Amino acid sequence: MLIHRRWRLVLSLLMAAAFVVPAVAQQPPAPAEPATSAPAAPAPPKPKPKPKPKPAANPEAAAPAPAAKPLAAAVAGGVQPKLLGQYGDWGAYTATPGGKKICFAIAKPASSTTVPPGRPRNPSYMFISTRPADKVANEVSIIIGYPFKPTTEATAEVGSTSFALYTQQDGAWIKNAAEEAHMIEAMRAGQSAVVKGVSAKGTQSTDTFTLRGLSQALDRTGQECKAAP
């Protein structure tokens, strides 16, 4: 669990860099709009001097979406990932945060619903990482886009099999580490993974990730990063 705490911030930075920076680099600035493709920022937002903040900003979000400057600074600090390949809905990346090489496959959900319906929250992601320095291969992490209800579990359903996930802030990991290889195997052969959780405010969420291209993305990250035995 300590390793997961340490890696939660790194995951957020890597996801921000993977999904936001390429878009910023390729497109001219657009009129101000909610950043629906950026995950929660690791640092608190800058307070505005006078204007009163607008109500209904995002009650379920873990933190406001990151601004371009702080994100660029994080990327400039050596966190920017390199795209190894896009396979269906999954991107394969490598990066070297803190001098330690990691490889990861990442995807956004194909669909997301909440009960009550229409509750706003930050985007969610599924992230499968290999960290040779930590002797970790294919660790499944989910960033859900809101703080989970404390002491509650989430679930990931792949086909007819349900895997229990323990939660911490806006992150979730498989509860029984011995089942992780089985989960990866099921995902390689499956069509979708359905993640369900409950926010600190009691909102129930369901995120459906399609698994098209996952096997190829994991094969590519496995070639690039091999965890030590």
pLDDT tens figures, 74-97: 443 456 889 999 999 999 999 988
Looking up tokens 């702080």 gives 70
Average pLDDT in the chain: 76
User: Whole-angstrom Cα distance, residue 84 to residue 79?
Assistant: 15
CB atoms within 10 A of CB 102: 26
pLDDT tens figures, 138-149: 999 999 999 999
Give a yes or no: residue 216 inside a domain: yes
CB atoms within 10 A of CB 35: 19
Quote the domain boundaries for residue 116: 2-26+62-224
Count of domains forming the chain: 1
Q: What CATH number does residue 189 fall under?
A: 2.60.40.1880
pLDDT at 22: 43
Give a yes or no: residue 46 inside a domain: no
Query: Is there a contact between 152 and 197 (Cβ–Cβ < 8 Å)?
Result: yes
Q: What is the mean pLDDT of residues 33-56?
A: 45
User: Whole-angstrom Cα distance, residue 87 to residue 198?
Assistant: 30
CB atoms within 10 A of CB 33: 6
Give a yes or no: residue 67 inside a domain: yes
pLDDT at 118: 85
User: What sign results for the dihedral spanned by CA atoms 55, 72, 33, 83?
Assistant: negative
Looking up tokens 């405010």 gives 201
Q: Can you give the C-alpha Rg of the chain in angstroms?
A: 17
Give a yes or no: residue 55 inside a domain: no
